[in-house]
Chain A
């Protein structure tokens, strides 16, 4: 024992002192080392030196470009910018001495009072000033609804989502236009009768009076019944008088038009996209071919030609004397266009569902419609949320194209406000573009972050 103890002299009594980490691993230096310096100071070999020098040069150039860009922007938008126009000078507030104002000749900055003066136009268009609360209410419901759905801790998120997709468009329509549509009573009565008939028909099928064959297709007829009842209800709501003053769509503009076009496009294209995606995966060759043709046609042409088509050709396609509102025509074009993209996104989601799910469902004796509705779509639709958000981002950017067919979206509105001689200065257009770019950027950036967040979340859950 003691012998062993004598050997213990060589065993450490205490831990070896902790050495500080290498200088290039901690603190500022470590951070710099990990973030690029390591590739700039390798002068041990000739190739290493050349690479290091090149890297240093590249970094300096990029740094210069970046800082220069940021400085130009900050200088224009903040430092030199004119912030207020207390004396109501309008254009003279932002004019240099050369243009009749009082600013020095080399002045070049943003003219924010111009944006302030046009802010109502940018957000609402020329919507009646007394009725603007309706637009605000529409915006508010949308914001609260989206916030509700996005925040994970909220209860009833699913229900709010359904509300946003199914009921909100009706509310928004009534609020924005004032409802009170004029539709011939006969049309209304026919619609009610048709949905009643379909309901009776469904009831008969359900009770088995029409034989087993129809009973098998009951789900389909039931879906048609719900659809017809929904459409009839919507029509009744649209035609009833809520005591709201009618506001023509001509008076809509700016952000309102941008949002209306983008949201209608995405909401209306969702059901269409689902149908097309299911059709494209159908086992029936004709259906598949038709869906493929439809999808590839719309995906193959630029949106601007679609808008031209909606604007110039749609009136030709319809029966004599039928005439659509300009905004509605654009909406139809945008919906068809985005439905094709939506279909591809949803198809991606459908493909991600393992085959076993289909097999298990048919093993349980579920029909095609039941399998789609209860097993496949609920899983696929969650999977495609990032894709849908990305499509929405694309569509949101594409809404700017409607200015080419004389609808005044955010960009169209700022452009038409450049025509106001009261504010015409050389900085007018840059200020306007900068303001609109900022609005777009904030909205689109947050959406793309949300889509990334969802993607990450879905990846972890699987």
Chain B
């Protein structure tokens, strides 16, 4: 009797004490709350939009845009033309410009960041204090402020529109931009590109093959050099065989004629606008300060015993650095480095403040104003940045699994 009573209460309790049921209950509750609020949000949005005489939809993407965009990488690739190009083109131009400034920014920030990071560990007092000052100054002032400072510093120090500072005959700079010859692929240039890809694949293959051969037989084979030769010579050979199918269009600088015709001529050669230079410089300097700290802590994380041990094994200093220190330091450096790259890409959105037509500026700014589709356009913006970050985390996971310490 007694035992059955206890049992009964056990059963009663079991429902609420059973961890499984509790956990399922909480999860369903969470789902209901989340989906409920999403449905509520959707409902509110639709009602509000209807009130304002608007509707949801992506038809606007097919409409032609009536505004002009500053000539940049994106407009050059897409071939933007007012009244002909659509909002899809504007969207693509935005993405391309973001990627362009992001790519150049990543390259510059990496080079500068590694240099400064190594300077910080140098025993040279001057280099060390320069690096420390650099890091502390650039890290502790907001990027947006840097952007303004750099932009107006750039504008202040460049020659006026009707003058120019010439680096070579064909390359010069003034306040309207940096001018250089523009490559114009002719017929057959495609084959050169194909040769380049073949060269790359060959290069990777040679390196892998020679490494494996070295590991198995111990015989050395200069796979890297051979690959490099292939990478350079094959496209060059094709290029000359096909009769140099690449034309260089030089920029034209006029110092006489009607006043607005003086200076660099529109549409001739390659122009890089000062806005892009400013965004690029500010992003690179700012991010370099963070990269320098990452590099420094990465190298410091490798204990000196590693170096001593590898010397004791008879490895030469160069080999020690290449085979012992760098692989271990990179394991520490790469994850935060990747997130800095992602930050740089996201931070490029601040360019909206100084008229560089990247994604947020041209699509979330100008286009949004003309079309007024806030919900759809901000959604598209976020989607682009989210895919950047997803790609980055996929890379990170791949990298982490590749370099994970093999433990016994």
Contacts and interface: CB of A to CB of B under 8 A. Distances in A.
B130 A62 contact: yes
Interface stretch (B13-21, B178-186, B250-258): B13-21
Interface residues of A, number: 64
Contacts of B127: 36, 58-59, 62
B51 A313 contact: no
A216 B353 contact: no
Contacts of B350: 304, 401
B133 interface: yes
A400 B45 contact: no
A444 B31 contact: no
Interface stretch (B22-30, B63-71, B211-219): B22-30
Interface string A288-321: 0010000011011110110011001101111110
A109 B96 CA distance: 40
Contacts, number: 168
Contacts of B346: 301-302
Interface string B138-173: 011111110011001000000000000000000000
A62 B118 CA distance: 14
B137 interface: yes
Interface stretch (B105-113, B229-237, B238-246, B378-386): B378-386
A62 B126 contact: yes
B408 to A, nearest CB: 21
Nearest to B133: A66
A226 interface: no
Nearest to B346: A302
A456 to B, nearest CB: 13
Nearest to A33: B123
**Highest count of chain A CB atoms <10 Å: which of B41, B140, B388:** B140
Given A283-B23, A302-B346, A441 B130 contact: no
A213 B15 contact: yes
Given A36-B124, A308-B364, A445-B136, A436 B349 contact: no
A140 interface: no
A404 B126 contact: no
Contacts of B382: 300-301, 305, 309
Interface in A419-455: 429-430, 433, 436-437, 440-441, 444-445, 448
Contacts of B126: 36, 59, 62-63, 66
A62 B127 CA distance: 7
Contact of B374 (A287, A302, A313, A436): A313
B17 A36 contact: no
B140 A445 contact: yes
A397 B13 contact: no
Contacts of A309: 378, 382
Contacts of A318: 44, 48
A400 B126 CA distance: 33
Given A287-B30, A433-B145, A39 B360 contact: no
A53 interface: no
Interface string B31-46: 1001000000100110
A25 to B, nearest CB: 14
Interface in A27-73: 32, 34-36, 38-39, 55, 58-59, 62-63, 65-66
A316 B44 contact: yes
Contacts of A286: 27-28, 30-31
B266 interface: no
Contact of B34 (A36, A217, A290): A290
Contacts of B44: 316-320
A213 B148 contact: no
Contacts of A287: 26-27, 30
A23 interface: no
B140 A444 contact: yes
Main secondary structure of the interface of A (DSSP, over half): helix
Contacts of A1: none
A338 B364 CA distance: 22
A212 B352 CA distance: 59
B309 interface: no
A52 B347 CA distance: 40
Contacts of A429: 148, 152
Nearest to A299: B389
B48 A316 contact: yes
Contacts of A301: 346, 381-382, 385-386, 389
Interface string B182-221: 0000000000000000000000000000000000000000
Contacts of B122: 36
Given A316-B49, A429-B152, A284 B23 contact: yes
A411 interface: yes
A394 to B, nearest CB: 10
B375 interface: yes
Contact of B360 (A36, A38, A214, A305): A305
B27 A285 contact: yes
Nearest to A38: B123
A319 B144 CA distance: 34
Given A297-B386, A305-B378, A312-B374, A212 B353 contact: no
A440 B130 contact: no
Nearest to B383: A301
B360 A401 contact: no
A36 B123 contact: yes
A65 B136 CA distance: 16
B390 interface: yes
Interface in B286-319: none
Interface in A317-341: 317-320
A398 interface: yes
A457 to B, nearest CB: 18
Contacts of A436: 145
Interface string B337-364: 0000000001101101100000010001
A94 to B, nearest CB: 16
* Top 10 closest pairs, chain A to chain B, by CB: A36-B124, A213-B16, A300-B389, A35-B125, A286-B27, A397-B142, A444-B140, A302-B346, A312-B374, A302-B349
Given A32-B125, A297-B386, A308-B360, 13 more contacts: A36-B126, A211-B12, A300-B385, A301-B346, A301-B386, A305-B378, A317-B41, A399-B142, A400-B143, A403-B353, A429-B152, A433-B148, A437-B145
29 contacts: A34-B123, A36-B124, A62-B127, A63-B130, A66-B133, A211-B12, A212-B9, A214-B16, A216-B16, A287-B27, A300-B388, A302-B385, A305-B349, A313-B378, A316-B45, A397-B141, A399-B142, A400-B144, A400-B145, A403-B144, A411-B144, A429-B148, A430-B152, A437-B141, A440-B141, A440-B142, A441-B141, A445-B136, A448-B139
Interface of A: 32, 34-36, 38-39, 55, 58-59, 62-63, 65-66, 211-214, 216-217, 283-287, 290, 296-297, 299-302, 304-305, 308-309, 312-313, 315-320, 393, 396-401, 403-404, 411, 415, 429-430, 433, 436-437, 440-441, 444-445, 448
